[in-house]
């Protein structure tokens, strides 16, 4: 199973967007077998639409904790889309 390495984590601490992407990738890794078995084993969502769709899959197929974490990420992504389109 692929996981985020230490240098990615240090880099993530320096950049909020990288931090959020690292968080998304950790969640995908954690729930890949249980919720995302139908996606490529090396898949990580990168676009906003793919992140939202992937979080929906995790909410649908995961447990309560997966639902909570995926909903939090999805809400953050959707809020940032609205902020960017308002600018």
What's the pLDDT tens digit per position in 34-60? 999 999 999 999 999 999 999 999 999
Total number of domains constituting the chain: 1
63: in domain: yes
66: in domain: yes
Q: Cα-Cα-Cα-Cα dihedral of 84, 26, 39, 42, to 10°? A: 100
22: in domain: yes
1: in domain: no
Greater model confidence, 59 or 18: 59
Between the ranges 6-10, 11-15, 53-57, where is the mean pLDDT highest? 53-57
Cα separation of 32 and 75, whole Å? 20
2: in domain: no
> Which domain range does residue 26 map to?
7-86
């Amino acid at each position: 199973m692929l996981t985020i390495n230490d240098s990615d984590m240090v880099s993530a601490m320096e950049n909020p967007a990288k931090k959020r992407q690292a968080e998304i990738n950790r969640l995908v890794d954690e729930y890949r077998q249980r919720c995302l078995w139908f996606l490529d084993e090396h898949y990580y969502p990168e676009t906003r639409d793919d992140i939202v769709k992937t979080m929906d899959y995790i909410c649908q197929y995961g447990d309560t904790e997966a639902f909570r974490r995926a909903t939090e990420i999805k809400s953050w992504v959707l809020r940032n889309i609205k902020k960017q389109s308002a600018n």
